[in-house]
């Protein structure tokens, strides 16, 4: 859920990254961190536990995991964690990516596939999605084996779900299984 507060933090991160000339890098790194936090109950709980001293929560930002991250990425994460907004990292990262795409006159396309795509398949998928939507897209791809096959894409409020998982779910519904 995107709130005014989330939008405010995203705007601050975008401004910081832009000032450092690293908006593309920061957007990619934040999305990767958001996926990692989303995929780890332990990490999500640690970062969001305001009962832990702030220094302990901020150790994540200085950890080996983020040692190669751009300083603007680490600064943005530190700001969000220190403000007790670690639970909003995913929404903030999404909004940063959306604003970064907009700054390039593109629209954010969040694409989920079952397996990693090579460069040729990425380019073909991007071309197909741009043709279907009539928009220039900044494609962010996530690999999720649960998709089984096919593609699921969210572009603004539009969802294109051609995944095998969706087809199987629809088939189960039709046959009453």
Task: List domains and CATH numbers for the chain.
Answer: 4-101 (1.10.520), 107-175 (3.30.910)
Helix (H) / strand (E) element for 154: namely strand 151-155
Structure confidence at residue 61 (pLDDT)? 87
In this model, does residue 31 exceed pLDDT 70? yes
Please name which of 34, 36, 58 lies closest in space to residue 46, comparing C-alpha atoms.
58
Q: Tens digit of pLDDT for each residue in 114-165? A: 899 999 999 999 999 999 999 999 999 999 888 878 888 999 888 888 877 7
Residue pointed to by tokens 């970062």: 47
| Tokens, residue 98 | 């959306």
- pLDDT given for residue 145 in this prediction: 87
- Predicted local distance difference test score (pLDDT) of residue 162: 80
pLDDT tens track for 51-69: 989 998 898 888 888 889 9
140: three-class secondary structure by DSSP: strand
Q: Which two tokens stand for residue 64?
A: 């080996």
């Amino acid at each position: 859920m995107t709130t005014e507060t989330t939008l405010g933090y995203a705007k601050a991160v975008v401004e910081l990254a832009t000032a450092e000339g690293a908006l593309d890098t920061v957007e990619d790194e934040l999305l990767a961190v958001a996926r990692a936090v989303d995929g780890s109950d332990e990490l999500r709980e640690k970062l969001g536990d305001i009962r832990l001293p702030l220094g302990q929560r901020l150790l994540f930002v200085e950890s080996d995991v983020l040692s190669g991250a751009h300083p603007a990425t680490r600064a943005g994460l530190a700001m969000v964690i220190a403000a007790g907004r670690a639970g909003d990292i995913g929404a903030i990262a999404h909004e940063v990516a959306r604003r970064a795409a907009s700054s390039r006159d593109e629209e954010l396309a969040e694409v989920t596939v079952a397996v990693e795509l090579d460069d040729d398949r990425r380019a073909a998928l991007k071309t197909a999605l741009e043709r279907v939507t009539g928009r220039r897209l900044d494609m962010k791809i996530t690999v999720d084996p649960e998709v089984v096959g096919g593609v699921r894409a969210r572009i603004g409020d539009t969802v294109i779900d051609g995944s095998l998982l969706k087809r199987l779910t629809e088939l189960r519904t039709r046959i009453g299984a």
